[in-house]
Amino acid sequence: MTPADLYPGWGIRPVLFSAAGLPVPAYEVFVLLGLAAGALAFWRLRRGEPRMGEPTAIIAVAALAGGAAGAKLLEWAFNWPALARVDSLAALLAGRTVIGGFVGGSIAVVLVKRHYGIRERRGNLFAPAIALGLAVGRLGCFLRGCCYGRATSLPWGVDFGDHVMRHPTQLYESAFALLLFAALLRLRARVTTPGRLLTVFMVSYFAFRFAEEFLRAGDRVALGLTVYQFAALGALAYFVARDRLVLVRRTAEATEAS
């Protein structure tokens, strides 16, 4: 049972407005706005780059599809006992995790690039776009009231509908992603290693998410940590190890060439 089931008015503004008698949900609107903002940022950044020979559009679609699948599958994996109590398709399809989205998108891109034999890394273009999309999309989470925080006495606490002032963790994450977007834009002029900015984004996000989980509401499964914190640690280990392996490979190739 979700907070929305217990409190019919749950959320800040789960429905933005009605059009022709149909409710327009805030979460879906801001997810679409986030995708549009990310696509626009990628297009603007790409304009100053050399023409790409690889099927960039296919890679982008693979990232979106893999991200959507990963976000849903990991959420099911983390909450599989609750699936037995689901009584509708809408409830089954509701809920997803950004952690799974990033992991699923990364796996999909790796598989597509391997299929096409692409070795060039274009993460320096994708990283700022992903950060901006996340910053916008999390506003939808805030309005719907998902991904909410634990109780707090801080003056900026928010009541999502149960008369408890909580950390607006969605806004924390949105602000962090926006700052990360600005930082990545500044770093882009100085970082020349292909794919390094995407690694910076992933490591920064998963480190932030691990820390943010201490403020989020949710069950602690072991060692005082949530299942999402364990997932964040696993993702951190993966992206750091992958970056080290790429660096070792490039160093070996440079040595052989000389």
pLDDT digits (tens, 9 = 90+) for 29-48: 998 898 899 888 888 887 76
Is 0.85 surpassed by the pTM of this model? no
Do 6 and 158 contact (CB within 8 A), yes or no? no
Phi, psi of 178 (to 5 degrees): -65, -40
User: How much is the pLDDT for 119?
Assistant: 64
Burial class of residue 157 (count of CB atoms within 10 Å of its CB; 0-12, 13-18, 19+):
middle
Domain boundaries, the chain: 24-47+120-253
Q: Rg of the chain over CA atoms, in angstroms? A: 20
Look-up: residue for tokens 């005082």?
224
User: Average pLDDT in the 184-206 region?
Assistant: 86
- Cα 11 from Cα 159, distance rounded (Å): 8
| 170 — pLDDT class (breaks 50, 70, 90) | very high
User: Average pLDDT in the 63-84 region?
Assistant: 63
User: How much is the pLDDT for 176?
Assistant: 96
User: How much is the pLDDT for 101?
Assistant: 72
